[in-house]
Amino acid sequence: MSNEYHFISRWRLPASAAEVAEVLRDARDLPRWWPAVYLDVQVVEDGNARGIGRVVDLWTKGWLPYTLRWRFTTTRNDGAGGLSLRADGDFVGEGTWTFIADGDHVKAFYDWRIRAQKPLLRRLTWLMRPAFSANHRWAMRKGEESLRLELARRRVPAEQAARLGRPPGPTFARLIRTPRHVS
């Protein structure tokens, strides 16, 4: 069985495409607003003025009690027109965000085509594909929940933002060790 995965996530958010793109393009801020998945993020290279060529090391997890170390390189940043990246590390492949205005909302689509490289994932795909796929869907649900909260936080005065609550944190947090940066 192939160790390739293809996921399409669909979110409908109360925001403009530009607002969503602004939040998603700032990789350094991912652990703050999407802490259920992004444990540590380090920008290795900034890329050009639009962020093309930006290289980012990530330590991530989903619901299952394992972590992933990977790196992405921004290959396209058209702001509200969409974002694309190339992934390397525990999985390799490509991801593309597309935004479509829908009245006072935006439909955000993430097309993620990857091949599992982490030995655990690669060896157990034949058995665990449904669990690994469910793990990804869980992570993206937490991302949508966290992004809704972040968008709301950006629309209120700072003194009111704290009252909005915190985004969901990682599962099995006690099992997470200190981050080691990908090189």
Residue 182 lies inside a defined structural domain of this protein: no
List residues bridging with 89 in a β-sheet.
70
pLDDT computed for residue 86 by the predictor: 98
pLDDT tier at 180, thresholds 50, 70, 90: low
Q: What is the pLDDT of residues 118-177, one digit of tens each?
A: 998 999 999 999 999 999 999 999 999 999 999 999 999 988 988 898 999 988 776 666
* Cβ neighbours for 57, distance < 8 A, ≥ 6 positions apart: 41, 42, 44, 69, 70, 71, 181, 182, 183
Give the pLDDT mean for 15-29. Answer: 97
Is 6 a residue whose pLDDT tops 60?
A: yes
Amino acid at 132: F
Domain total in the chain:
1
Domain range for 80 is 4-175
Residue ranges of alpha helices (H) inside the chain are 17-25, 30-33, 119-153, 158-161
Rg (CA), the chain: 16
Residue 180 lies inside a defined structural domain of this protein: no
pTM over 0.85: yes
For residue 135, what is the domain's CATH number? Answer: 3.30.530.20
Residues 88, 145: Cα–Cα separation, whole Å: 26
Structure-token pair, residue 37: 């998945």
Q: What is the pLDDT of residues 35-83, one digit of tens each?
A: 999 999 999 999 999 999 999 999 999 999 999 999 999 999 999 999 9
- Report in angstroms the alpha-carbon separations of 47 from 69, 82, 89: 21, 17, 19
Is 183 a residue whose pLDDT tops 60?
A: no
**E strands of the chain, at which residues?**
4-13, 38-45, 55-61, 67-77, 83-89, 91-102, 105-116
Give the pLDDT mean for 26-36. Answer: 97
